[in-house]
Structure 1
Amino acid sequence: MAIEREDVCILIPTLNEVLTITPLIQDFREMGFDHIFVIDGNSTDGTVQAAEAAGARVVRQSGKGKGTAIIEAFSLIEEPYILMLDGDGTYAPSDADRMLAPLDEGADHVIGDRLTACDEGALTRLNHFGNHVINVLFKWAHGAYLQDILSGYRAFTQESLERLNLKETGFEIETEIAVEVVRNDLKVVVIPVSYCERPGTPTKLHPFRDGYKIIRTIYRLAKVANPLFYFGLIGMLLTVAGGLLGVYVVYEWFQNIERIPMTILTVLLIMAGLMITMFGLLGDLFLAFHRETTQELKKVREELEKLKRKME
């Protein structure tokens, strides 16, 4: 049985999207979706008025940034299913049913993959390449290849949202959602979706600046999700630096030149690198134990719920 329209909230974060928000809302309303929620980042071009006129519920976010808007919106939604997409007209409402279908089949989270079949001109070669690099880095750091972790087209169950601990305030929010989904072992389904060229509105993304922030977020969040990667990378860099310096010291020694301070620095770098790597190994062991304990507690909780239902 398909998910009922009244059980779905269409969440649209916006910032100066007056050119696209009205047709976007109208398309969803024509498809039978009545719960359309626009969380606006204090637009100055009439986006709020246009969205309200089109029949959406509109709330102005209290802070700044896309992440802040999404986190605030999640706390205000009561419907059991949420379909989220950007308000810039790049995502197609016609993909809504395909995005929601996996939730009806037991998935916790659905990601709309833009990269498989995006329209010509929708992404520059630089952006397309950058997205693939970020997806690979995410796999190295968090152990899952989700094909398009930066996609703004996503579907959630209300229950799965309650398990996500989200804090990012900017465009890094999609990355944090992907990290939390993997960390909490949620069932994820990736669906190829259409991605259209922006209809005349300027992009708010800066490839290099925002790309750096996203990569930094992937690495920073690995401290909890994958400590071996986080500490191991630091340890490897220190060990390699110590090794290269050691090669120079040995070469100089063969030339009858003693480099005592450099020798001490070499030993310290290698020892520090190995110790930090050991911290990563220990952290990984503790994390594995925590995950096993969490799984056992989940099984116990499920058994208790089954027993409770039988008694009722």
Structure 2
Amino acid sequence: MQPDTGPRADALELTVLMPCLNEAETLATCIDKAKAYLSRANIAGEVLIADNGSTDGSIEIAKAHGARVVHVPVRGYGAALRHGIENAHGKFVIMGDSDDSYDFSRLDPFVEKLREGYDFVIGNRFKGGIADGAMPFLHRYLGNPVLSFLGRLFFRSDIGDFHCGLRGFRREAINALGLKAPGMEFASEMVVRASLGKLRIAEVPTTLSPDGRSRPPHLRTWTDGWRHLRYLLLNSPKWLFVYPGAAILAFGALLTIVLLQGPVQVLPGVVLDTHSLIVGCMAMLVGASCLSFGVIARSYSATRGFLPVNPRLARVKAYATLERTLMGAGALALVGLTGLGYAVWQWAAADFGALEYNGMVRMLTVSCTLIALGLQLAFAAFLAALIDIET
């Protein structure tokens, strides 16, 4: 790492931060626009380039145009930005790609919101305007809208453009979030952590232009899209496990109860019978597994500091102690064992010969399902208790 010789943070209001990996074609333009903005707005600031291993002369260009350069030893969009934020000297940081797709000469809305006391300000390209050819069709009409919708749904955020790369923030507030993602999912991590951390967030319209590079962008549509989706899901056990699990369990329980007494005709010529009962029992097992995964994952995330403590989950855990949960699991298993014992008794009464198929299959299926649910609940309770052990 090169010596940090720039002006100190208490002397600067704003750092304009740009990650860079071989951006010789556009870097000078971006730096010049940012410096012109700082001069026009009379802001004490700097332009900081977080270089990720450029070999095309980008470093020399940055220095020649008056930017400060920090070298990032770890490859990746997120790694470059994290290192840049850590080394920024401004009270505020505005970050954006160095491909000339964002206009660094028009940063007033970001600075105004930051001066008003907002911790995090993100641009919205869909409100500000996307020029023709600036965003691929799949990104504009599928990737960004879907991922932004899921982000709003999962984390109760009002942000309309989760992946706008032009964003500003108070440096101390973002550093306190402990961001770790090394790759493109850093963009999602920043928004998710800011939302979960209850930071004051504002959104401002911004424009997006076609980038000025002749080479393809670093972004990989499907790979990076999956990394963003994966990050959103892993940080929302509720939507990944709990809600799907509850829906599947409810469906299975309803189907099992309806078919417990015998076949049910749902449409002319369509009768649900033992095979549908088996489907219902399997759905109950899958749903219960998802629910237990959700509770354990949420508890683990809070223990490790990935997610804040959930007060409702804490109250449930305080009541559903290991011992109480084991009692409930034992009750389920006991009901199942009773049904299984009755089936064996019936079989013995028939001298272990053939039995009436339909009724016996219902009895055995439901009984074995209850036994499996009881065992699953017991093991899940022990795993949850293990995670809660203080070290």
- TM-score using structure 2 length: 0.64
The 5-angstrom pairing of residues 11-26 of structure 1 reads 11-26=17-32
Task: Tell me what 1:203 maps to.
Answer: 217
Correspondence 1:165-204 to 2 at 5 A: 165-201=178-214, 202-204=216-218
Please tell me the residue identity of whatever aligns with 2:310.
L
Helix, strand or coil: the match of 2:179? Answer: coil
User: C-alpha displacement at 1:258, in angstroms?
Assistant: 7.2
Map 1:7-46 to 2 at 5 A: 7-31=13-37, 32=39, 34-46=45-57
Query: Unpaired segments of 5 or more residues in structure 2?
Result: 1-9, 265-270, 315-391
Compute the displacement of 1:88 (Å). Answer: 0.5
CA distance in 1, matches of 2:309, 2:90: 37
Please, which moves more after superposition, 51-60 or 25-34? 25-34
For 1:255 and 1:231, the matched residues in 2 are separated by 28
**Residue matched to 2:163:** 150
Consecutive unaligned residues in structure 1, runs of 5 or more: 292-312
Which one-letter code corresponds to 1:13 in the other structure? P
Q: Aligned ranges for residues 69-218 of structure 1 at < 5 Å?
A: 69-116=80-127, 117-129=129-141, 130-201=143-214, 202-218=216-232
Given candidates 220, 227, 235, the residue that maps to 1:221 is: 235
Change in 2 beyond 3 A, CA 1:280/1:229: farther
Instruction: Report sequence identity in percent.
Output: 25
Q: Note if contact 2:24-2:57 (Cα within 8 Å) is conserved in structure 1.
A: yes
SS in 1 for 2:131: coil
1:15 Cα deviation after fit: 1.1
What is the alpha-carbon distance in structure 2 between the residues aligned to residue 212 and residue 279 of structure 1? 24
**Preserved CA contact (<8 Å) 2:244 2:287:** no
SS in 1 for 2:26: helix
Alpha-carbon spacing, 1:279–1:235, altered in 2? closer, same or farther (3 Å): farther
Query: Per-residue CA shift, 1:155-181, capped at 9, x if unaligned?
Result: 111231232120100000010000111
Aligned equivalents of 1:84, 1:57: Cα separation in 2: 14
Count of aligned positions:
284
Please tell me whether the aligned partners of residues 78 and 181 of structure 2 are also in contact (alpha carbons under 8 angstroms). yes
Counterpart code for 1:122: A
In the alignment, the residues of structure 2 paired with residue 83 and residue 256 of structure 1 have an alpha-carbon distance, to the nearest angstrom, of 63
Aligned AA (1:231): F
Give the Cα separation in 2 of the matches to 1:9 and 1:100: 11
Following superposition, the deviation at residue 241 of structure 1 comes to: 8.2
Q: 1:259 to 1:16 in 2, by over 3 A?
A: same
Q: Tell me the secondary structure at the aligned position of residue 189 of structure 2.
A: helix
> Cα 1:229–1:261, aligned 2, differ >3 Å: closer, same or farther?
closer
Residue 23 of structure 1 deviates from its aligned partner by 1.4
Q: Does 1:272 align with 2:289?
A: yes
The offset of 1:229, in angstroms, is 2.6
Distance 1:266 1:79 in 2: 55
In 2, the alpha carbon distance for the partners of 1:274 and 1:237 equals 10
Equivalence for 1:52: 63
Indicate if the aligned counterparts of 1:239 and 1:270 stay in contact, CA closer than 8 A: yes
Greater RCO between the two (CA within 8 Å, min separation 6)?
1
Give the structure with higher Rg (CA): 2
Aligned to 1:164, the other structure's residue is in SS state: coil
Q: Once the two structures are superposed, what CA deviation does each residue of 1:195-217 show, in whole Å capped at 9, x if it has no partner? A: 11112342111222211110111
How far has the Cα of 1:30 moved from its partner?
A: 2.4
- Structure 1 residues 219, 248: closer, same or farther in 2, change over 3 A? farther
SS at 2:121's partner residue? strand
Deviation at 1:272, TM superposition (A): 2.9
CA distance, structure 2, for counterparts of residue 278 and residue 21 of structure 1 = 47
Letter of the structure 2 residue corresponding to residue 132 of structure 1: P
Indicate if the aligned counterparts of 2:125 and 2:207 stay in contact, CA closer than 8 A.
yes
List structure 1 segments (4+ residues) > 4 angstroms apart after TM superposition.
240-252, 254-264, 273-286
CA-atom RMSD in angstroms: 3.5
Are 1:64 and 2:83 matched, yes or no? no
Q: 1:143 to 1:23 in 2, by over 3 A?
A: same
Aligned equivalents of 2:276, 2:202: Cα separation in 1: 57
1:113: Cα distance to partner? Answer: 1.1
Alpha-carbon displacement from aligned partner over 1:5-43 (angstroms, at most 9, x marks no partner) = 942111110111111101111122223265111001111
